Amino acid sequence: MFEFHGWLRVEVNDSDDADPSVLREREAAAQTVVQQLIADHMDDFSLMEMRQSGNGLMTLIAHGLRNHRRREAITLFESVAKALPDSYGLLYYHDDEHPTESNAFRVLRFVRGSTTIHDDSLLSPVVPTVEDDETSIG
């Protein structure tokens, strides 16, 4: 099984103190980019959506439980991080078919346009932290 859960704060560059109308145009363009990326990577077994909070901040949310590994969520987050390098967030995933990491969650960190992979210490090792060892069950 391939399980993933993540969020990404979608940010546009406002460092040049653009006037509010220019900033709104940038945010609208960013939203269009992310919505297209979601459409390109969405399937029937995953939840991927962009939410705008009450204060106008945009967040991409992705969750899924797949029978086999599919890179859609990872590719989506990498694409947003590359297209909108001021965005940041985390994507946790567990791939029980991975040859060397099947008993661990991994964390993809997206910040300043780059992606790094980190070990998870909160839910790993999956057995016995999250699941029982199948060989010890009756």
State the Cα–Cα distance between residues 50 and 23, nearest whole angstrom: 18
Look at residue 80 in the predicted model and tell me its pLDDT. Answer: 81
Token pair 């940041």 is found at 88
Token pair 């090792």 is found at 125
What is the residue-wise DSSP string for 58-97?
EEEEEEEEESS---HHHHHHHHHHHHSTT-EEEEEEEETT
25-70 confidence digits (pLDDT tens):
777 777 787 788 777 766 655 788 888 777 778 888 888 888 888 7
